[in-house]
Amino acid sequence: MTIRGKVVIVTGAARGIGKAIAEEFGKAGACLFLIARSKDELEQITLHLARYECDVLAESYDIADPRQVDLAVEAGLKRFGRVDVLVNNAGVQGPIGPVEDLDFWECKRVVEVNLLATLRFIQKVIPGMKRHAWGRIINMSGGGGTGPLPRFCPYAASKAAIVRLTETVAEEVKAYGITVNAIAPGNVKTRMTEQALSAGERAGTEYLQKLKELAKGGGVSPYLAAELALILASDEAQSITGRLISAVWDDWRELIGRAEQIQATDIYTLRRILPKDRGFDW
pLDDT tens digit sequence for 72-114 = 999 999 999 999 999 999 999 999 999 999 999 999 999 999 9
Please tell me what DSSP assigns to residue 184: E
Contact indicator for 234, 3 with CB cutoff of 8 Å: yes
CA 276 to CA 153: how far, in whole Å? 30
Interatomic CA distance for residues 119 and 212, integer angstroms: 33
pLDDT of residue 162: 98
Q: Give CA separation, 149 vs 41, 155, 156, 187, 256, in Å.
A: 30, 9, 6, 13, 31
Q: 135-140 and 7-11: which strand pairing? A: unpaired
Strand partners, 281: none
Catalytic status, residue 268: no
| Average predicted confidence (pLDDT) for the chain | 94
Q: Label residue 190 by pLDDT band (50, 70, 90).
A: confident
Give the model's pLDDT for residue 91: 95
What domains, with CATH codes, occur in the chain?
Answer: 7-188+222-270 (3.40.50.720)
Q: Please tell me the distance from the alpha carbon of residue 25 to that of residue 22, in angstroms, as a whole number.
A: 5
- pLDDT > 70: percent of the chain: 100
pLDDT tier at 24, thresholds 50, 70, 90 = very high
Task: State the pTM of this model.
Answer: 0.95
pLDDT at 97: 94
- Of these residues, 155, 176, 223, 268, which one is catalytic? 155
Classify the C-alpha dihedral 269-227-10-39 as positive or negative: positive
